[in-house]
Amino acid sequence: MENTDWLALLEQAQLQKVMETNQYTEQFGLALSERDAQLLAQERKNTLAQQRRVEFGESILPGIIYEFCDSAYINQGNYVESLVRLQEIFFQYKNEMLDEISDEELLHFMKEQFETICFGDFDYLEGTCLDIFAQAVRAGYRGYQRTGGQNEYAQFDEVERWDRELYLAALRDLG
């Protein structure tokens, strides 16, 4: 069998796995068409080339889909674009964290920040939350290993968040 045949079979199997995610994601009102899956596969190739990475075995895309399909900020109208962006961010930060963090830990961290700190803002996820966390990982931080990447960001967050009590106190001080 020629290499091109083997690669074509691998790509077809990956497309099938992506299409199979629809069985789960439909409960959240999300579904990919065959064309969407092909677009995502092409974007994956582009991102891997841009980030100078290779993926052996299964694609990370089904993992991204399962992790983010219940997001409050992803709907059918932005689903494909969101998945493209999440793939890009994922591979960029696998590089930035020098592959020290597992795929699952990174996905959990990304999802938690996307929902709670970023409120669906990909730029904030990429340019702030993941950047700060990647710096900590490169500096030797490994606490995420015991938490699976969850509940990690607060110790690195440099932004004072809105707090109801602090808000009410500020209002009292103004009055």
Domain ranges for the chain: 1-96, 99-175
pLDDT of res. 57: 65
pLDDT of res. 27: 97
pLDDT of res. 172: 84
What span, in angstroms and rounded, lies between the C-alpha atoms of 106 and 109? 5
* Highest mean pLDDT: which range of 26-35, 56-65, 93-102, 156-165: 26-35
Tokens of 1: 């069998």
Query: At 52, which amino acid appears?
Result: R
pLDDT of res. 44: 83
Higher pLDDT residue, 5 or 15? Answer: 15
pLDDT of res. 1: 45
Q: Indicate if the pLDDT at residue 3 is higher than 90.
A: no
Q: Indicate if the pLDDT at residue 11 is higher than 70.
A: yes
pTM attached to this predicted model:
0.82
pLDDT of res. 168: 76
Mean pLDDT of 24-38: 95
Tokens of 156: 């690195």
Q: What is the mean pLDDT of the chain?
A: 85
Sort 103 into a burial class: Cβ within 10 Å, 0-12 / 13-18 / 19+: middle
**CA 139 to chain centroid:** 22
Higher pLDDT residue, 17 or 170? Answer: 17
Q: Is 144 helix (H, G, I), strand (E, B) or coil?
A: helix
Q: Over the stretch 68-95, which tens digit does the pLDDT of each residue have?
A: 999 999 999 999 999 999 999 999 999 8
Using the structure block, give the residue that is written with the tokens 């290499």: 3
Convert 2-27 to b/e letters by CB count within 10 Å (16 or more is b): eeeeeeeeeeeebbeebbebbeebee
Contact 58, 103 (CB under 8 A): no
Contact 111, 148 (CB under 8 A): no
Mean pLDDT of 104-117: 94
Q: Indicate if the pLDDT at residue 143 is higher than 80.
A: yes
Mean pLDDT of 98-103: 90
Q: Is the CA virtual torsion 117, 51, 85, 25 positive or negative?
A: negative
